[in-house]
Amino acid sequence: MTSRPDPDDVAHIFREELRAVPTTTGHSESPARGAIFPGWAELGLADPPLDGKLPANAETADVLSFILMPPGTVEPVEGLIDGVRLEVQAQIYHLQRLDRQLEAAMLFRRRIDGRAPAPSSFRAEEDRVRDRGAPGEPLADAG
């Protein structure tokens, strides 16, 4: 069986990623990154709203950027990358949960088919049922 991270750890990482997203917004013209990453206007986008709410009169491109980027995005390209990263992490978490559910279902199927041992508490119950006999049959003598 392969080793997988605990889904609780993945959820924790997901929450930490959300907390790490900057909470300030504005046009990205910092001298350190301005020459490398295009800003909002260079992509034909309005600056993100300071209150983090989508304006009713937003252009189509601005609406799409609003749904694709995490709240508080300062730089649009990094925001798009962060949005994709968060979606991938959420999908990983959900796939791991589904994998665990499938693993449990397959174990139950193997137990029903007799291909996997049942826990000792189940075997004790099976013995009690077997000792009682089939319906309509007299009970087995205890001694």
pTM over 0.85: no
Q: Amino acid identity, residue 90?
A: A
Range of the domain at 42: 7-132
Q: How confident is the model at residue 25 (pLDDT cuts 50, 70, 90)?
A: very low
Angle at 75 between CA 70 and CA 79, to 5 degrees: 30
Nearest of 68, 43, 47, 71 to residue 58 by alpha carbon: 47
CB 28 within 8 A of CB 39: yes
What are 40's two structure tokens?
A: 């909002």
In a domain, 140, yes or no: no
Q: Is 116 helix (H, G, I), strand (E, B) or coil?
A: coil
Condensed to tens digits (0 to 9), the pLDDT of residues 31-71 reads 333 334 468 888 888 888 778 888 899 999 999 988 998 88
DSSP result, 11-36: HHHHHHHHHHS---------TTTTTT
Confidence category of residue 12, pLDDT binned at 50, 70, 90: low
| Residue 11 confidence class, pLDDT cut points 50, 70, 90 | low
- Based on the structure, what is the number of domains in the chain? 1
Identify the CA nearest to 40 among candidates 70, 61, 19.
61
